[in-house]
Structure 1
Amino acid sequence: MNSFRMRLTLILVAMIGIAVLAAGLVMGKVYRDNHQEDLQDSMVREMNIILQDVPWKQGNPDELYGYYTNEAKRIEALTGTRVTFIRADGVVLGDSDHDPKTMENHSTRAEVVKAKTGSVGRATRFSDTLHENMLYVAIAVNKDDPNSGIIRTALSLKKADESVKRMWTGLLIGLLVLFIVAGLVSYRIARNLTRPLEQITRVSKRIKNLDYRARVDFQSNDEIGELGSSINAMADSLQVQMTRIHQNERQLATVLDNMINGVVMIDAAGKIVLLNKMAEDLLGISAREQVGHHFASVKQQYELAQMIQETLERREHLREEMTFYFPEERLLDLNLVPIFEDDDDFGGVLLVLQDVTAIRRLERMRSEFVANVSHELKTPVTAVKGFAETLLGGAVDDPETARSFLQIIFDESDRLNRLIGDILELSKIESRRVPLLFSPVELSSFIGKTVELMSAEAVRKQIRVSTVVEEGLYVEADEDRLRQIIVNLLANGIAYTAEGGSVSVVVEPVHDPNLTLDDEGQENYEHIRIHISDTGMGIPKKDLPRIFERFYRVDKARSRSSGGTGLGLSIVKHLVELHKGTITVDSTLGVGTTFTIDLPVLQ
C-alpha cells in the first residue's frame, strides 16, 4: 500500500508539474510576443517621426549614400536604434552601423517584402554583421506607391532575451518550489486517500484469515466510506453466519458424541467421513485414524464390509442383526441408509449401529420368566386339580384319605398364594413402584427382633441362631424392607442347613481411616456390613453367578420340598440396590454359605 501511495503521489506531482510547465511555456511565449509587439509599435512610431523629419530624396546614388548614411547615424545617436534606408529595388542607400556600399541587396528580406505591400514588415533573425539576434521593422515611405522606398529600423533582442531568461529562471525556481509544495500536498492527499484503503485491506486480510471480528473504524460520506461500511456489513453478516454455523456444528457434535447409537457416514467413493464416539466403542476403531480412509481398510468383520458395498451398489436400505466379537462380544442391529443430495445425487451411506445385546438378553429373560412362571404355577394347580378330581371320584368317603388329600390341596394352594405374592412383589420392586420410607434403625434391637421371628423354625430344626451386633450402631433404611431382606436370608440359611447346624448374623461398621472422630471420640463410619452365614450344604461355584436370578434353584428338589418359590434372593438383591447397597455371596460345598451386605449409613 505504501508503494501505491508513492505512485499516487508521483502521479499527482507529475500532473501538477506538467500543468505548471505548460503554463510557464505559454507565459514565456506570451511574454516574448508581447515584448516584441511593444518594441515593434515603438519602432513604428519612431519611423513615422523619422519620415516627418527626414525628406526622401531621389538622385545620384553616390550623393544619396552620404546623405542617408549621415541621417541614419544622426537618428541612431538620438534613439539608439539602428536605421537603414533602402531604395525600392532593394539597394541600401544608408545605414547607421554599416557602409551601405558593402551591404547586399535587401529586396528579398522578409520585412522589406512585407513593407512593399503597404503593411508593417517585421522579422526576427540573427544578424551576420552584428552577430546577435535582431528585431527588424520596415515600412514604406509611401504606402500607396509600390515603388516607394523603405525605411527600416533594427533593435537588438539581447536585452529582451536576457529578460526572458530572467523570467525563465524565476519560473524554474517557482516551479521547483511549487513541485516541493505540490509533493507535500500530494503526499498528504495520497495518504488521506490510501489510509482508509490500507485499513480496508488489513480488515479484508483478517476476514480472509477467518477473523470475523475485524471492522473498519473510519467514517466518511464518500465512496471509500461506503466501501468501508459495506466491508463492515459483510463482516457482521459473516460473523453471524459463522457463529450460527459453529453453534450448529457444536450442537451436532454434541448430539453425535452423546448418542446411544453408533453413526458412521461413508461417501460415494467408500471413504469414511464421519465416525461418532459410540461407533468407536462398538467397532473398536479410532475416528482420528479411520476418517478419510476407505471402509475396506477397517479391520472388522467381512460381512459388515459386504453389507456396506452392497448398499453402495444397490443404493437401497439394508437392515440386519450381526454378532461382533471385537472389541467384545455384542449383538448389533445394523441399519444402512443411502444418502441422496438435494439434486438427487448419490452422496454415500449412513451406517447406524445399535447395541441390542441387553435388549435381546432381557427378551430372553422375559421369555424364560414367563416360561418359569407358567411352570411354577402349573405344578401346584395340577396338584390341586388332581387331588380334587380324586376326591370327587369317591375318595371323599374315606375320611383318612380325604383329610390327607385336603391337606395336600391346602399346602399347594398356600404355595401357589406365596408364589403369586412373590411375583407381584418382585414386579413392584423391579418397576420402582415400592416407595421406601427411610428412618434411623438401631441395629442391635432390630436384629434381635428379626431373629426372634425365625426362632420357631430354627427350634423345630434344632438350628442354633447367633448374633453379634455392637451397641449403638445405626443405619438409615426402610425398616420393613430391611427386615424383609434379613428374614429372606435367614429363611434360606435355616432351610438349607441340616438339623443341628448353626446360622449367624454379624453386624459391623466399616471405618474410613480418612474420617475424623465424632464428638464422643468414636470413629465415624460410612457403611454398615452385615454377614449372614450358615453351615448348610453350600453352593457350587458354577451356580454362584446365577443365584440372584428369578426362579433359579441350585437344588430344585430340595427347594420344592422346602416350599421355596425361587424368587427370594432376586427380591433381596433388588431391595439392597434400592438402599444403594451391594450384596455378595461366598460359599463352599459342604461347609456353608455367607451372604455379605454393605449398606450406606446415610441415604
Structure 2
Amino acid sequence: MLKLHQVFFRTFSIIFLLVLIIISTTTYYWSKNIYLDQIEKNLSQNIDSLSLNLTSFKNLDYIIKTFKGKTGLRITIIDEQGNVIGDSDRDISTMENHATRFEIIHAKYEGYGKKIRFSDTLNQELLYVAKKIVIDDEIYYLRLADYTTKIIENFTKLSYQIIAFISMFIIVAFITTYLISIKIRNETNAILGYLIELSNKKPTSGIYSDFSEEFYKITRLLNKVAAKLAKRERQKSKQTAKLKLANKQKDEIISAISHEFKNPIAVVTGYSETILSDKDLPEPMKEKFLRKIHSNGIKMSHIIDKLRLTLKLEEGKQQILTTKCSITKICERVVSDVKDKYPNREIIIEVKEDYEINIDETLFCMALENLVENALKYSEDEVIISFDDKQISVRDKGIGISEVDLKNIRQKFYRVSQNGWNNSLGLGLFIVSSIISLHNFSLEIQSELSKGSEFIIKY
C-alpha cells in the first residue's frame, strides 16, 4: 500500500501526462482549423483576382500557368456541364467530368463551394474552393486548390515549442510536488505519532499544523479529543449526575402512578372498612358504598389498561384491525361517552357531510375521546368537533399551551407543571399520537396561550 505522499505524487504525474496529451491533440486540431480557414480565405480572394483576368478564353493556358507560377495554387476551370476546359497541373483530356464533385455542386446552387479531399493523382490532401462565374453569358466554375501538408510542418514546429514548455513546467511541478509530498509525509507522521500518544493515554501538550486547512482541522480535532480524555473524570461525574436525574424522573413517574391509585384505593379501603365495621348500616347506604367501591375498582382497572396499552404502543406490539366507519357515528359515540363524565358541558359536532374512513374503531375512539376530554378539562366554554374528507378537528377556548410545552407534550409521562396536563400520568397525548401513527395518520396541534387549542387529526 502506498503512502499518502506517494499517492499524491503519482496522481499529480498522471494528471500532467493527460494534460499534455489533451493540449497536444487540441492544439493540433485548433491550428489545423485556423490554417485551413486562412487557406480558404486566400483561395477565395485569388479566385476573385483570377476571375477579373478571365474576360475571355483567349490565351487561357498562358493565364492559368502564369497565375500558377505566382501563387503555387492548382487552378481548374469547368464549364456548366462539368467538363474541364483548363487545368494548371494535368492534361484536361485525361480528366473526368467534374459535375458530381461536392464543391462544384455547391457552387452551382449556392455560388460557392469547398471541400477537403485526397487527390489520387497528386497523392496529397487538398482544400478545393470553387466559385460560379459568368463569361460571355456562359456559366463556368473556377476552382482553386492548395495543399494541406503545410499544417504538418507548422504543427511540428509548434509541437516542439509546446513540448519544451510543458517539459519545463513538469520539471518545476515535479520538484514542487516532491517538496509538497515530503511536507505531507512529515505532517502525517506527526499526526500518527500524536495518535499513538493518545492511544497510550499520554498526550503531549498539543499538536498544531498550518500546512493546509484540512491538516489544521485534523490537528484541532485531535486537540479536542485530548482535552476530552483529560476531562474523563469530570465526564464520569456528569454521567453519574445524569443517572441520578434519570432515577429522579423515574421516581416522579412512580409517584404519579401512586397518586393515581391512591384516591381510588383510599375510597375502596374506607368504604369497605365502614361496611365491615358497621353491621347495622342501612341497605341503601351499603349499596351506595358498594357502588363507590365498584366504580373506583373500574377506575383502577382503566389506569392499568392505560399503562399496558402504553407499553404495547411503545414496543410496537399493538395490532390494529381496520374497517370502514362513519365519522359522524364515531363522533356521536365519543360525545355520548364523554357526556356521562361531563353532563353539564356542551360539545358541538359540526356536520356538513358524512364521510367514511378505514380505522380501528376501538383505538380511534379512545384517541378522539382523549382529545375531547383534554379540551373539556382545560376550558370552560363549549368544545367543537368538526371534520371533512381530510381531517378531524377538536377545538376549545381554554388556557392554551406554551411553545415549550408544545415541543414535549407528546412524550410519555410529560406533564405541564402549571396545569397538570395529560391526566397527571402524562400518557394521554402519547397514547393519542401512537394510535394516530398506527393508522398512518398525523396529529397537528395549534395553540395560543389564554385563547385556546386545536388538535387536528389528518388522514
- Higher RCO (CA 8 Å, separation ≥ 6 residues): 2
TM-score normalised by the chain length of structure 1: 0.35
* TM-score with structure 2 setting the length: 0.46
Structure with greater proportional helix content: 2
